[in-house]
Amino acid sequence: MNTNSGAFKMFLLGLMVLQNSSVVLVGRYSRDSQSAEALYVVNHLILLTEAMKFFFSNCLEFYTTGGKLATSIKENIIDVPLDALKIIVPSLLYLCQNSLLYVALSNLTAPMFQVTYQSKLLTTAVVSVIMLQRRYSVKQWICLASLGVGVAFVVLGADGSKDEEAVDEDKPEQNMSTGLTAVTIACFCSAFAGVYFEKVLKKPTTDGNVKKQPVSLWMRNIQMAFFSVIIAIINQYRMTGPDAEKPFLHGFNGYVWAVAFLQAGGGLLVAAVIKYADNVLKGLATGVSVVTSTILSMLLFGTPLSTQFVVGAAVILASVFFFSNDIPGEKKTKKGGEADEEMQKPLVDPSK
C-alpha cells in the first residue's frame, strides 16, 4: 500500500477514530459494570499495558533496524546509560497520567471525559512555549482561549443540570469533582511528559565528543515502557488498602483485556499517524472520535446531553481543529535553516 496515498491516510483516520472512541467507551464500561469488590486494580492494568508496549516496541525496533535489536540496545542503552535514564521523568509522568485517567473514567460520563480531556491541548501549548520556546500565531492563541471557554461551558452546564440518580451501593461511588480534578492533573502530566519526551527525542546523543543521530522513536518507547514497568512493579509492592489484597489480574474480563490492547496499540498508532500523516489528521480524528463516542454513549449507556453541553463541545472541537491546522506554529530553526521535525507523544494518547 502506498503510504502517501489519500486512501492510506483515511485508513489511519479510521483506525484512530476507532481506537480513541473504543478506549474511552470500553474503559468507562469496565469501571462502571463491576462492583467495588470485583473491580480490577488500575495498577495491574497499567503494568500489563506497559509490558505489551515494551514487547511491541522491541518488535518494531527489530524490524526497523533490520534485525539488529541487540546492537541498537547496546548502542542506545548499555553504552550511554545516563542518556537512557532521562526517560524516567516522562515515564513517571505518564504513569501518573494513566492512573488519573482511570479515576476520571470512574467518575465522569464518556462524553464529559472526552470533551474535558481536550484541555490537554491548552496545557501542552503553554508548556511548549516555556520549555521549547515554541511560538504560536494569534489565531492559535484565540483557539486556545476558546477551548478554555468551551470546557468551562460544558462543566458548568453539567453541574447545573445534574439530576438525582439512583445510587447502586455495589458499584464504586461517582463524584464529578473528583473526575474533573483527575482530568485537570492528567492534562498537566500529559503536557510536561509529552514536551519533555519531544525534547529528548530530538536532541542528538553524544559518544565522547562525537554527536550521534537522535535515538529512534521505537527505542525511546522501549526505554519508557521498561521504566514504566519497573515503577508499576514498585507501586504494586507499596500498595495499601483493599486493592493490596487483590491478586494480580483480579477482575480482569474480556473488556479489561480489550482496554489493555487498545491502550498498548494506541501509542503505536499515533506514532504511525505522526510519521505518515499530519497534525490536521490528528485533530480531525479527535473531533470525529468525540462525536462518535458521545453518540454511542447515548445509545449504549443512556447518557443525557444538554444543549449547553452540545454547544460547549462544538466550541472545543472547532478550537482543536483550527488550532491543529497551524501546528507547529513558528519554530526555531537549526543551523542551516532546517526546521525541527514535529513529533508529539500521544497521548494516552493518549495519548494516550
Q: Which of 152-166, 200-214, 256-270 has the lowest mean pLDDT?
A: 152-166
% residues pLDDT > 70 (the chain): 77
Has residue 96 got a pLDDT over 70? Answer: yes
**pLDDT tier at 221, thresholds 50, 70, 90:** confident
Please work out, in degrees rounded to the nearest 5, the angle formed at the alpha carbon of residue 65 by the alpha carbons of 12 and 81. Answer: 105
Which three-class secondary structure state does DSSP give residue 350? strand
Give the model's pLDDT for residue 345: 37
Q: Which of 90-104, 164-178, 285-299 has the lowest mean pLDDT?
A: 164-178
Has residue 161 got a pLDDT over 60? Answer: no
Give the model's pLDDT for residue 160: 53
Q: How far apart are CA 79 and CA 69, in angstroms?
A: 14
Instruction: Evaluate whether 285 touches 106 at the Cβ level (below 8 Å).
Output: no
Stretch 65-81: mean pLDDT, rounded?
A: 90
pLDDT digits (tens, 9 = 90+) for 5-24: 667 777 877 888 888 888 88
Which three-class secondary structure state does DSSP give residue 207? strand
**pLDDT tier at 346, thresholds 50, 70, 90:** very low
Please, is 66 exposed, middle or buried when counting C-beta atoms within 10 Å of its C-beta (0-12, 13-18, 19+)? exposed
In this structure, what DSSP letter does residue 208 have? T
Which three-class secondary structure state does DSSP give residue 277? coil
Stretch 245-259: mean pLDDT, rounded?
A: 92
pLDDT digits (tens, 9 = 90+) for 261-280: 998 888 777 666 656 665 55
Stretch 171-190: mean pLDDT, rounded?
A: 85
Q: How far apart are CA 155 and CA 163, in angstroms?
A: 14
Stretch 160-167: mean pLDDT, rounded?
A: 48
Which one has a higher pLDDT value, 294 or 342? Answer: 294
Give the model's pLDDT for residue 123: 86
The string over 168-192, giving b where at least 16 C-beta atoms fall within 10 Å of a residue's C-beta and e elsewhere, is: eeebeebeeeebbebbbebbbbbbb
Has residue 52 got a pLDDT over 90? Answer: yes
Which one has a higher pLDDT value, 321 or 227? Answer: 227
Has residue 82 got a pLDDT over 60? Answer: yes
Give the model's pLDDT for residue 340: 40
Has residue 55 got a pLDDT over 70? Answer: yes
Quick one: residue 160, left, alpha or beta (phi over 0 = left, psi -120 to 50 = alpha)? Answer: alpha
Give the model's pLDDT for residue 344: 35
Stretch 104-120: mean pLDDT, rounded?
A: 84
Please work out, in degrees rounded to the nearest 5, the angle formed at the alpha carbon of residue 271 by the alpha carbons of 198 and 129. Answer: 25
**pLDDT tier at 337, thresholds 50, 70, 90:** very low
Stretch 116-126: mean pLDDT, rounded?
A: 83
Sign of CA dihedral 168, 171, 176, 178: positive
**pLDDT tier at 54, thresholds 50, 70, 90:** very high
